[in-house]
Amino acid sequence: MNIHEYQAKELFDRFEVPSPRGQMAETAEDALKIAQEINSDLMVVKAQVHAGGRGKGTFKNGFEGGVHLTKSAEDIGALAGKMIGQTLVTKQTGEEGKLVRKVMVADAVDIKHEYYLAVLMDRETSRPVIVASTEGGMDIEEVAESSPEKILRVFIHPLAGLQAHQVRKLIVGLGLKGPAAKAFGKVLKNLYRLFTSLDCDMVEINPLVETPDGEVLALDAKFGFDDNALYRHPEVEAYRDIEEEDPREVAAAEFDLSYIGLDGNIACLVNGAGLAMATMDAIKFSGGDPANFLDVGGGATEAQVKGAFNIIQSDPKVEAILINIFGGIMDCNVIAQGVVAAVKETGLKLPLVVRLEGNNVAAGRETLTASGLAITGADDLADAAKKAVAAV
Ligand code: ADP
Ligand code: MG
């Protein structure tokens, strides 16, 4: 799960990670009021969407930039009015962009230097890693590409936690001195405590800035939380903004399905995560593109299968459906009944390729045949993938 910058700021406040004074607004009038309250020489108004690259983004109506600095409260109100209700396209939103419903108005900070700082879960070493760079404020992937030596990595043993020598290593590596070095150390410790306490899988601050007075503040924030641990943090779960999420994934979550939306046109309905991955590979290998990852799980019910099938059919990108079931615990007939029940309601609008094998497969095939649906049968996974690709 991701959250907005203004929500991240609340978590920063709680864990004593300094960030500029600011507040969220849903209308231009409220943005103006907040700016009048902040009443500082320079202020910033920022579009709130679950995507980075806002500063360099462009609205679909041509208005440039999702982050604006200005001196007057009236300007803040006017800029907020130009952003709210408009669709912002950034490097991270995809070309469809994201509708801006909220902005954050904050104090603008005098910046001496912009750094990059993130705590991530590293899958290779199964431990948190701190990633830091002197090249903050820009696209970190680009920095990693063009000057990888400018990216520092420190791996943390999860039981030992962040060690003093690791903090020093980062301070020296970033060239921080005096009060800024001390302030950075405190930010790092508090950020790591936040990361572990809230079961994050990513906290990225870009930029983390040093001011001329030696203060260190987080000017931006991107959070990712481990969904499996969210039940331990109801206050974090309350930050969920489903309007920012893929509607296909929101619907799938209602049915407890493991679903990830992708950009291709061949929908997959599979049991087991490994088989689902193999199915996507087989589609790619045959020259096609999967529209989703979907694992209905080992003990799926007819209602879940029906739900899954409806999500697939309502996705406008989908041009063919591939069902690949290897019944172990899963009863092939439950899948067949779920599919038939879903199609009875909505009709079958797309080519459907089915490969069923294993537990109770004869009954499953019988259910499909008896339904009279136009189904293309397949002998094995490779055959199924080929037929699905040929159908689009
Ligand atoms: P994004 O990464 O989505 O473009 P940021 O929050 O990083 O958005 O803002 C882009 C840039 O705008 C920052 O790199 C920084 O230079 C500037 N900026 C953002 N917030 C502030 C602030 N409170 N004070 C001063 N400058 C800011
Ligand atoms: Mg940023």
For residue 118, the tally of other CB atoms under 10 A from its CB is 19
Residues within 5 A (CB) of ion ligand 2: 206, 220
- Look at residue 344 in the predicted model and tell me its pLDDT: 86
Residues 46 and 167 in one domain: no
Structure-block tokens of residue 26:
């849903």
Q: What is the mean pLDDT of the chain?
A: 94
Least confident of 63-77, 146-160, 329-343: 329-343
| Residues assigned a catalytic role | 116, 204
Cβ–ligand 1 distance for 219 under 6 Å, the answer yes
Asked whether residue 11 is domain-assigned, the answer is no
Structure-block tokens of residue 278:
């193999």
Range of the domain at 365: 247-391
CA distance readout (Å), 223 to 37, 137, 354: 28, 17, 39
Residues 383 and 252 in one domain: yes
Q: How far is the CA of 67 from the centre of ligand 2 (A)?
A: 10
**Higher pLDDT, residue 136 or 343:** 136
Q: How far is the CA of 84 from the centre of ligand 1 (A)?
A: 18
Nearest CA to ligand 1 atom 9: 55
Asked whether residue 60 is domain-assigned, the answer is yes
Cβ–ligand 1 distance for 137 under 6 Å, the answer yes
Asked whether residue 3 is domain-assigned, the answer is no
Residues 154 and 101 in one domain: no
* pTM, rounded to two decimals: 0.83
Cβ–ligand 1 distance for 51 under 6 Å, the answer no
Under the banding of pLDDT at 50, 70 and 90, the label for residue 39 is very high
Q: Domain tally for the chain?
A: 3
Residues 259 and 377 in one domain: yes
Residues 251 and 356 in one domain: yes
Domain harbouring 266, CATH code: 3.40.50.261
Residues 261 and 332 in one domain: yes
Asked whether residue 2 is domain-assigned, the answer is no
Bridge partners of 48, per DSSP, are: 102
- Three-class secondary structure of residue 170 per DSSP: helix
Asked whether residue 7 is domain-assigned, the answer is no
Residues 87 and 182 in one domain: no
Which of 80, 107, 134 lies at the terminal end of a domain, its last residue?
Answer: 107
pLDDT mean over 219-230: 95
Q: How far is the CA of 20 from the centre of ligand 2 (A)?
A: 14
User: How far apart are alpha carbons 183 and 197 in whole angstroms?
Assistant: 21
Domain harbouring 173, CATH code: 3.30.470.20
Residues 228 and 314 in one domain: no
Mutation test residue for ligand 1: of 48, 67, 140, 215, the one with most atoms within 8 Å of CB: 67
- Look at residue 209 in the predicted model and tell me its pLDDT: 98
User: How far apart are alpha carbons 59 and 68 in whole angstroms?
Assistant: 13
**Higher pLDDT, residue 298 or 221:** 221
pLDDT mean over 305-333: 91
Long-range contacts of 272-278 (CB under 8 A, 24+ apart): 272/297, 272/298, 272/326, 275/324, 275/326, 278/381
Which of 107, 127, 151 lies at the terminal end of a domain, its last residue?
Answer: 107
Least confident of 111-125, 154-168, 248-262, 263-277: 248-262
CA-closest candidate to residue 330, choices 356, 352, 307, 310: 356
Residues 320 and 353 in one domain: yes
Residue-wise pLDDT tens digits, 356-390: 999 999 999 999 999 998 889 898 999 999 999 99
Q: How far is the CA of 279 from the centre of ligand 1 (A)?
A: 42
Which of 213, 237, 261 lies at the terminal end of a domain, its last residue?
Answer: 237
Name the H helices within 258-301. Answer: 273-285
